[in-house]
Chains A and B, each alone.
Chain A
Amino acid sequence: MKRVYPREEVCIGCHLCEIACIVEHSASKDIIKAFKAETPRPTARNLVEEEGAISFSVSCRHCNEPPCVQACISGAMVKDYQSGVVRHLEEKCMGCWSCIMACPYGVIRKNPVRKTVIKCDLCPERPIPACVEACPNRALIFEER
């Protein structure tokens, strides 16, 4: 399956990937409205990790054997073996945070308002995920490996 791969050597730590993710998952899909008018503001599903000069953007790896799916006690986290995407079904999520503890990448986050988790869904409505398209330095690659 195609996944989003970060390239640490050219990531400039601008966080535009996070902004793109917020806009893509907002109600209005408009950058200014998403930030200024929508409450609560959507949470970014990717996270730029930074330490000194090193930075890279991580989001769900859509693992072949996802620990989060195994850890989920309510069947909210499912692996779609056809597309390879690890999906989160919010209506089943009870906010126990088991998946957050199980995820080795730390890329599942709490949705503070809805008391459920939030994670990358690979932008099902777009041919290329928003974060990849928004990266100004090709530090995110969407490809088959």
Chain B
Amino acid sequence: MEKEQRGAGALLYYDQNQNYHDFVIERNPDKCIQCQVCLRQCSYSVHGYDERHDEMRADETRCVGCHRCEALCPTGAITIKKNPSDFRDNALWTPWHIKNIYKQAATGGVLLTGMGNPSPYPVYWDRILLDASQVTNPSIDPLREPMELRNYLGAKPDAIEIINGDELKTTFTPQIPIEYPLLFSAMSYGSINLNIHCGLARAAEEMGILYNTGEGGLHPSLYRYGRNTIVQCASGRFGVHRDYLNAGVAIEIKVGQGAKPGIGGHLPGEKIGPEISLTRMIPEGTDALSPAPHHDIYSIEELRQLIYALKEATDYQKLVFVKIAAVHNSAAIASGMVRAGADVIALDGFRGGTGAAPTMIRDNVGIPIELALASVDERLRQEGIRNQASLIVAGGIRCSADVVKAIALGADAVYIATAALIAVGCTVCQRCYTGKCPWGIATNDPYLAKRINPEIAHEKLANLIRAWGHEIQEMLGGMGINALESLRGNREKLRGIGLNEVELQILGIKHAGA
């Protein structure tokens, strides 16, 4: 790893715009013991050691604000702060826009970023309140009474026929039981490393839920977690072969991604090492470019062909998920997807994360998942086909209250990914695309990837699911509901606050007080 520092006088030889950096590093000299832990932990070579004066130095122009040095400093000597240096106030030309123009004027390139949309658009979860029982129907104490969080993903029949009193005549398509309404969303092997994948797989196995491989194939060592795996088939078809399709309990066709609707995926060649090359079935060092569309899907009819091709290839034993980014006509598309044979619809909202996306697309394309979910659920109910597919939502689910609200809006379960990464240390610094993640998450550099210990990742992820599970049970109990399935689409349990008529109508909820 590069460990060089800009020495004194270097200010003479670099682009002055670098001085408009985002963060400053405060080092308390009374606490700093020159142990150089920060220097060794920073993958952006921010920290340096001046041997002659026995003191630490920092090149703040390189700091991405990931807080790794602060987290590992044994004396708490480091504080990372926003750079107080500011431009003259201007409501239109904010420092953000000004700095971006400087960058593009210098490089001529597309602005890149990682993680989800950070812009201050409304977060509808925060404008929705939950109901609770008082007097007329008793609330339920989940510590003393049964509280069912188990859910079954898959198409449900329109009606059930029983013969001979207790014998089920109706045949079901495959159903996947999940113990919590929480699944780990698609993150590919390559965009994140094997240690994290391993942690996700083990946590999914322990908690009886599923994790999604993402579009980078499945490492041979993870086939053993097949009962808790969703394999993904994206437009690049990386790592897709017969054994892979049969490895999990479900196959997800990724049509779009919330973070970057309408564009494909790109894993830079630098990240394609020998193991990833084998798993993805592409040469080492070549960029893995997923096209924006599936080049064999230009209509719902062609989507149906792929869904049934996958079902044929797996002997109708696997569920087929279809994932789309939440866009203006999600409801109509979702209706088509159900009619095309999708067992599960996954909707990914505009807050969804990514390893790399053009900043302009991440920040400006797509719609909030809350609105997309409400409109899709409503449309499928109106058409009488809501039972024919399960509905999973993704994209910025931050806590168990978001999960409960999503289920009351009509989801069967939610996908979490950013929350899962935060659980293992991610500080959402949005620099995943550099491949230098100092937390060892979005990197395949062996020196950095070791920072994720699969055993610790497994424990933390399982703890997160467990904790959210307890909270979901408490919230359900408060509403006087003792099974998750009774909450699904139960919008009477929701009230909007500070929302206008149109928003309330789309969400299908009343205003608080009504």
Which chain A residue shows the least CB distance to B37? A14
Closest approach, in angstroms, between the C-beta of B328 and any C-beta of chain A? 45
- Asked whether B447 lies within 8 Å of A15 as measured between CB atoms, the reply is no
Q: Does A137 belong to the interface (CB within 8 Å)? A: yes
- How long is the Cα–Cα vector from A36 to B37 in the complex, in angstroms? 16
Q: Enumerate A99-118 residues with CB–CB distance to B below 8 Å.
A: none
Q: Enumerate A5-46 residues with CB–CB distance to B below 8 Å.
A: 9-16, 19, 31-32, 35-36
Q: Does A84 belong to the interface (CB within 8 Å)? A: no
- Asked whether A138 lies within 8 Å of B34 as measured between CB atoms, the reply is no
Q: Does B467 belong to the interface (CB within 8 Å)? A: no
Chain B residues whose CB sits within 8 angstroms of the CB of A10 once the complex forms: 450, 453
Chain A residues whose CB sits within 8 angstroms of the CB of B450 once the complex forms: 9-12, 53, 137
Q: Does A52 belong to the interface (CB within 8 Å)? A: yes
Q: Enumerate B26-40 residues with CB–CB distance to A below 8 Å.
A: 30-31, 33-37, 40
Q: Does A75 belong to the interface (CB within 8 Å)? A: no
Closest approach, in angstroms, between the C-beta of B407 and any C-beta of chain A? 36
Q: Enumerate B399-431 residues with CB–CB distance to A below 8 Å.
A: none
- How long is the Cα–Cα vector from A10 to B447 in the complex, in angstroms? 10
- Asked whether A16 lies within 8 Å of B37 as measured between CB atoms, the reply is yes
Given contacts A10-B450, A35-B33, A53-B445, contact A16 B72 (CB under 8 A): yes
- Asked whether A13 lies within 8 Å of B35 as measured between CB atoms, the reply is no
- Asked whether A53 lies within 8 Å of B446 as measured between CB atoms, the reply is yes
- Asked whether B446 lies within 8 Å of A13 as measured between CB atoms, the reply is no
- Asked whether B74 lies within 8 Å of A19 as measured between CB atoms, the reply is yes
Q: Does B455 belong to the interface (CB within 8 Å)? A: yes
Closest approach, in angstroms, between the C-beta of A20 and any C-beta of chain B? 8
Chain B residues whose CB sits within 8 angstroms of the CB of A134 once the complex forms: 74
Closest approach, in angstroms, between the C-beta of B128 and any C-beta of chain A? 38
- Asked whether A31 lies within 8 Å of B445 as measured between CB atoms, the reply is no
- Asked whether B37 lies within 8 Å of A31 as measured between CB atoms, the reply is no
Given contacts A14-B40, A35-B33, contact A137 B74 (CB under 8 A): no
Q: Does B5 belong to the interface (CB within 8 Å)? A: no
Q: Does B75 belong to the interface (CB within 8 Å)? A: yes
Q: Does B456 belong to the interface (CB within 8 Å)? A: yes
B75's contact among A13, A14, A32, A136, by CB below 8 Å, is which?
A: A32
A-B contact pairs, 13 of them (CB 8 A): A10-B450, A12-B451, A15-B36, A31-B74, A32-B31, A35-B35, A52-B447, A53-B445, A53-B447, A53-B450, A134-B74, A138-B453, A138-B456
Q: Which 9 A-B pairs have the closest CB atoms?
A: A35-B33, A53-B446, A53-B447, A10-B453, A137-B453, A12-B451, A19-B35, A14-B37, A19-B74
